[in-house]
Structure 1
Amino acid sequence: MEVKAEIVSKSTIKPSSTTPNKLRHFKLSLIDQLAPPFYVPILLFYSASDATTTKTISQKLKASLSEVLTLYYPFCGTLRGNSTVECNDEGVVFTECRVPMELSSLLKDPDLHQIHHLFPCDPYNPARETMTGNMAAQLNQFTCGGLALGVCFSHKITDASTASSFLTSWAATSRGNKLILPQLEEAALVFPPRKIEMSLIRGMMGHKNIVTKRFVFNRTNISRLKQKLGSFDFTPTSVEAVTALIWKSSLEAAKANSEEGKIPASMISHAVNIRSRMAQTFSEHSMGNLWQQAVSPVVEVEGEVGLRDLGERVRETIRKVEGKYLSMVEGDEFYKVMECLKEARTMVAEKGVPCYSFSSWVRFGFYETDFGWGKPSYVRTIGVPIKNVVIFMATKVGDGIEAWITLTSRDMVHFEKNPELLQFVSFDS
């Protein structure tokens, strides 16, 4: 059953004070320029609050949003070309909706395809709804009094870490706490914009016959998985271990659908947060796209797929994004990095080599977002409409990982029945 949201009101929230003229033209960084032209979607669910009415919640959200936008002024500006945001204080659209169902009904089975109406726009087709701003928010009220706050941020100025910082600041402001100051200009100073036109997703969007499903790995099962992969010289992280298992299970699903009946050559990529990896460490509240796509070489497998071997490949790939690599991106050799990314895109789009792309949002603290009526009961995003893409979210309890996995429908049939995968998936989440 698809969730329908009835619009009650729509307003534009402007910053509580005017942006000074000297800050009117905000420069994007090089990495912002390369970011895809869609939105970063976050959905925060809150149980019914006995102490606070929806009207009061709405008023607090709008008032605190107006205040925090004075710090995050590019969020209410207009993107000009692919290098500048005109910070013209046009504001952020804030929509209020009623949802004719109980929140518990939705959370029992959080199907990906039920919840698009809880967002202020379709994050991956914003033009369809004439979405032009750099941010929009939507407050949804369920019949039980539960709430869902859906927020979409332009990926041109926001990555998942920036989205988390903004929500943390917005929530602190709503509670009456001290404003958390963002670092807005660090990214463009280190990675100045350049004359470049390149899309890393061209030819990859809009796949038909794809499906996204959720798989949850609790702390106990992740611990068992890490023990299975580990050796005297290799102790995987939770993200490395779950990545390797999903990669292996995906390859075996592809083999089941292959006419040759063999494991295809493949690659993986991981979006790596570089805030703490630079020689000049960035603040955790540095705004913008401060990540790099770590891409493995093409991996060819003879015979059976080795889980530990894949785990080691995952680590090697992620650890490529370190000092020397980042110096190349920062300096004149960044064209070499761009050529490597172009080559990987060509392997996928033209030569048909599958690239399994991972992005981990596990450490970004979305479950701490308390606007004054408690922390979220559930936090999620929605899958990217590109095959072989995986997003990791944290679970609310413990150190688990919730993986939203998008595969072709044919591959998903075999993937979700993989015996080894099922040994580590939690069914009581």
Structure 2
Amino acid sequence: MVSKLESVSKSMMVKPSSPTPNHLRHFKISLLDEMAPSVYIPIILFYSATDISSSPFGTHDFKAMSNKLKASLSKVLTLYYPFCGRFKCTSSSSSISVDCNDEGVPYIESKFSKNLSDILNRPQSEMQELLPFHPYNHDVPNISEHCDKHMVSMAVKVSEFKCGGVALGVCLSHKIADGETTASFLNAWAKTARDLFNEVEPPQMDASLIFPSRGIEWALNSLMVGEGGGNEKLVTKCFLFSAMDLSRLRVRFGSFNATRVEAVTTLIWKSAIQAAKASSGDDESKRTLKASLVCHALNIRNRMVPPLPKNMFGNLWLFAFSDLVETDGTYGTEELHDLVEIVRNGIREAAANYSSLINQGDDGVNELVEFSKEAKLMVTENIIACYGFSSWIRFGFYDVDFGWGRPTKVKNINLPMKNIIYLIPTRNGDGIETWVTMTELDMDEFQRNPGLLQFASLES
């Protein structure tokens, strides 16, 4: 546990400041929402006491700060009304919708006896107490298995530390929100808290008109990495790429001019392949992996033709898969410049290919479903290794200022699945934190990889 809670208020509900109009009460999810995993997106924003006290609206009165958060949340929910509704799904249908009934957002206040610095030094896995519930293992019914139940769309927990610092932990249902929607909402909430509600651009809620739902059941949450680690112990560690590290790394790609994300992805992929080989030992009979690939969660808003609005609400992302890299015999010997081209091509081709399939109607969607099943089978049977990447670099989470300064730190809670990697910017924006989850055996080798440690430092 992070620390023992001194006191926690009873959970309260924050409802929208004005009722949702009747014609907006039934929110239809899109095909891409259906394809999203049945989990919550977790994010924790930390604000230091120093930044709070030096900001224009700063105060050491935690109750006043929390009241401002509740009042501004109530107001911004009039625009983001699905977040204060409840999921509905009848047992006779797999179709899911949101009843925007204004039941409200669960809101919890807590107080910790530790300082903010103590909390930030704790392992990533122990950050879950700063969230309203565990985003992947909680007591809120799973909509895909209990369609006759309701489920909250969003919940909030605000925590005060002994030093006066504050953490805001938010869980947003991935069934109606992706990273872009999460960032847009948090920044809209923050603007509202700074009395700038008139500058908030309302989200566009018509994704289901572009991507109509089809009542399909999708398992993309397990596609990347199988059904989790099985009996294998999973470990999550952070590797920091400073601005100087990134510059030196990009030079290694010569005239290819790799982006920061491409460079980091390629280095981690190569190092992960080498770690998997080393952890399997010399016994070829124990090494069943035949190939490896990477996939990125790709924001398709600006990649569609014509582009979709940046503020379109919902899930507007798809997996961008690279080509397979054969690992028999030459396991881990691929050069960086060979792998980075594979990474780039996978990202560039994905949006066009997926858009084409989606526009083909049922035949295209069925092809996507069959592809997901085949890929999942190969991963779960340990035939291929798939490394899933999610980049938060461009989402602007470090811009979320409620009136007491920008966050000191932004964190999430990694999916409890192997071979998944989050890329999160540093506060000043010029570095990248990579949160890597692997089996314990693979991580033992990965964290010692000399090629990796040339450019990244292991954070404690």
What TM-score do the two structures reach when normalised by structure 1?
0.94
**Match of residue 436 from structure 2:** 405
**Match of residue 161 from structure 1:** 180
**Match of residue 386 from structure 2:** 355
**Out of 100, 106, 117, which is 1:87 matched to?**
100
How far residue 427 of structure 1 moved from its aligned partner, in angstroms, is: 5.8
Alignment of 1:195-214 (within 5 A): 195-202=215-222, 204-205=227-228, 207=230, 208-214=232-238
Letter paired with 1:44 = L
Preserved CA contact (<8 Å) 2:88 2:96: yes
**Match of residue 35 from structure 2:** 34
Preserved CA contact (<8 Å) 1:29 1:192: yes
Preserved CA contact (<8 Å) 2:87 2:153: yes
Alignment of 1:412-423 (within 5 A): 412-423=443-454
State which drifts further: 82-91 or 334-343.
334-343
Do residues 381 (structure 1) and 401 (structure 2) align?
no
**Match of residue 145 from structure 2:** none
Preserved CA contact (<8 Å) 2:17 2:74: yes
How far residue 2 of structure 1 moved from its aligned partner, in angstroms, is: 3.0
Unpaired segments of 5 or more residues in structure 2? 90-94, 143-149
1:257 aligns to what SS in structure 2? Answer: helix
Label 1:161 to 1:4 Cα distance change in 2 as closer, same or farther (>3 A). Answer: farther
Do residues 172 (structure 1) and 191 (structure 2) align?
yes
How far residue 268 of structure 1 moved from its aligned partner, in angstroms, is: 1.1
**Out of 111, 123, 127, which is 1:98 matched to?**
111
Letter paired with 1:320 = E
**Match of residue 3 from structure 1:** 3
Do residues 326 (structure 1) and 355 (structure 2) align?
yes
**Match of residue 182 from structure 1:** 202
Alignment of 1:112-191 (within 5 A): 112-127=124-139, 132-177=151-196, 178-191=198-211
How far residue 222 of structure 1 moved from its aligned partner, in angstroms, is: 0.8
Preserved CA contact (<8 Å) 1:47 1:146: yes
**Match of residue 81 from structure 2:** 73
Letter paired with 1:195 = G
**Out of 310, 330, 346, which is 2:339 matched to?**
310
Query: For residues 427 and 412 of structure 1, what CA distance do their matches in structure 2 show?
Result: 12
How far residue 137 of structure 1 moved from its aligned partner, in angstroms, is: 0.5
**Match of residue 213 from structure 2:** 193
State which drifts further: 394-403 or 124-133.
124-133
**Match of residue 309 from structure 2:** 283
Do residues 45 (structure 1) and 46 (structure 2) align?
yes
1:137 aligns to what SS in structure 2? Answer: strand
Query: For residues 46 and 387 of structure 1, what CA distance do their matches in structure 2 show?
Result: 30
Q: Deviations over 1:47-88 (max 9, x none)?
A: 113341111110100000000011111111111124311111
1:280 aligns to what SS in structure 2? Answer: coil
Unpaired segments of 5 or more residues in structure 1? none
Q: Percent identity?
A: 47
1:198 aligns to what SS in structure 2? Answer: coil
State which drifts further: 349-358 or 413-422.
349-358
Label 1:372 to 1:136 Cα distance change in 2 as closer, same or farther (>3 A). Answer: same
State which drifts further: 252-261 or 52-61.
252-261
Query: For residues 255 and 149 of structure 1, what CA distance do their matches in structure 2 show?
Result: 40
State which drifts further: 218-227 or 150-159.
218-227
**Out of 312, 321, 325, which is 1:295 matched to?**
321
Query: For residues 129 and 329 of structure 1, what CA distance do their matches in structure 2 show?
Result: 30
How far residue 150 of structure 1 moved from its aligned partner, in angstroms, is: 0.2
Label 1:264 to 1:415 Cα distance change in 2 as closer, same or farther (>3 A). Answer: farther
What TM-score do the two structures reach when normalised by structure 2?
0.88
Preserved CA contact (<8 Å) 2:398 2:427: yes
Alignment of 1:235-314 (within 5 A): 235-258=257-280, 259-260=283-284, 265-301=291-327, 302-303=329-330, 304-314=333-343
State which drifts further: 265-274 or 199-208.
199-208
- What do you get for the CA RMSD once the two structures are aligned? 2.0
**Out of 38, 63, 73, which is 2:71 matched to?**
63
